[in-house]
């Protein structure tokens, strides 16, 4: 199998994974779940009972309960990238004459990202409790479109404040609920959306900066070696000028780990950049992921007032009220970075 075939397979697999993650993130039914269910049914007659129980417990633990597995995976991937950067790219760039300040930027961004990552994990997103609900009910008004007054949470048995939602993974109602993020093992809500948005931006900056430094190193290696003016003998014995594919193949064979890391970071950068832009847009219009998803085909509770869950009947969406909570760009950003506190009533 030649280099072009291997490289094409690599690109197709990565792009397919990215598309599947973007398309099915947050959905209960996905190709992965269907594949796992199919494999489980096929292997069920041949699987010992103890292994069945263990696999069911593991899958439930990973996908339906709070788990630190994705946090460890995130740290492992980040550590692998920085180990390769420190071991090879830093030395090459230093020999090329790149300033130490430029080479130190990724480490500075790593420190900032680590702090924001920790804040996303440890900050309470705004849990709705019996003690705080009286004040949280008055923070946001009900739009009577996606959120209606007097609707209790079937699980918590508490009246749901506007913009809140019950997270099945964390088993709690969260104020201004955005989504549950497995990578930080926490809900993203009113009190930690700012950290999550800054964390995404810092990750993009981190990946982008390492991509630029690595790309500059590889470009310097190509120019210094004179590959662009080189030629080679093809399989038919003809002399051919070295084109772009030949240069990429040479770099892949000479710096395999660096090129693999560069390709991985480029895909990660575009994936994270799209996600960061989406959440920046939501911050500018004062909307959450939960509200954005519901507003695409929202349902109304007025037709069935007895319904207490999140699924209601479905008249045609009223897009004129799509940004009900928007108060202008500055005030919207102010609400994200300085979230309103619950109103505490004084006791006589």
CB 300 within 8 A of CB 314: yes
Residue 167 annotated among the catalytic residues of the structure:
no
174: nearest Cα among 232, 129, 142: 129
347: which 2 tokens?
A: 């006791």
φ/ψ of 29, rounded to 5, equals -100, 120
96: which 2 tokens?
A: 């090329």
**Cα 152 to Cα 211: distance, rounded to the nearest angstrom:** 49
DSSP state at residue 185: T
**Cα 214 to Cα 258: distance, rounded to the nearest angstrom:** 8
Give the active site residue among 93, 181, 187, 204: 181
Parallel/antiparallel/unpaired status of strands 186-188 and 165-167: unpaired
277: CB partners within 8 A, 6+ apart: none
What's 187-204 look like in SS3? EECCCCHHHHHHHHHHHH
**Could you give the 3-state DSSP secondary structure of residue 172?**
strand
- The catalytic residue positions are 181
């Amino acid at each position: 199998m030649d280099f072009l075939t291997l490289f094409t397979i690599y690109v197709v697999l990565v792009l397919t994974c990215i598309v599947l993650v973007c398309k099915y993130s947050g959905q209960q039914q996905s190709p992965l779940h269907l594949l796992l269910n199919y494999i489980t049914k096929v292997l069920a007659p041949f699987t010992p009972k103890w292994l069945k129980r263990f696999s069911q417990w593991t899958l439930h633990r990973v996908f339906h309960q709070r788990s630190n597995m994705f946090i460890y995976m995130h740290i492992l991937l980040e550590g692998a990238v920085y180990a390769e950067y420190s071991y090879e790219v830093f030395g090459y760039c230093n020999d090329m004459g790149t300033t130490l300040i430029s080479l130190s930027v990724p480490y500075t961004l790593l420190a900032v990202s680590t702090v924001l990552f920790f804040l996303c994990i440890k900050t309470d997103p705004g849990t709705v409790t019996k003690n705080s609900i009286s004040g949280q009910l008055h923070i946001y008004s009900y739009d009577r479109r996606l959120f209606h007054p007097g609707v209790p949470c079937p699980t918590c048995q508490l009246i749901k404040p506007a913009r809140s939602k019950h997270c099945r993974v964390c088993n709690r109602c969260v104020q201004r609920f955005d989504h549950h993020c497995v990578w930080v093992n926490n809900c993203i809500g009113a009190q930690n959306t700012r950290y999550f948005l800054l964390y995404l931006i810092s990750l993009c900056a981190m990946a982008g900066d390492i991509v630029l430094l690595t790309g500059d190193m590889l470009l310097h290696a190509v120019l210094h070696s004179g590959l662009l003016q080189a030629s080679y003998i093809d399989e038919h014995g003809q002399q051919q000028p070295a084109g772009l594919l030949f240069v990429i193949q040479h770099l892949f064979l000479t710096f395999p780990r660096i090129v693999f890391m560069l390709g991985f970071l480029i895909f990660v950068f575009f994936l994270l950049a799209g996600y960061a832009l989406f959440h920046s847009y939501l911050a500018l219009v004062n909307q959450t992921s939960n509200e954005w998803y519901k507003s695409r085909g929202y349902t109304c509770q007025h037709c069935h007032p007895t319904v207490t869950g999140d699924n209601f009947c479905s008249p045609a969406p009223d897009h004129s009220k799509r940004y009900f909570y928007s108060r202008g760009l500055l005030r919207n950003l102010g609400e994200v970075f300085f979230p309103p506190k619950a109103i505490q009533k004084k006791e006589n």
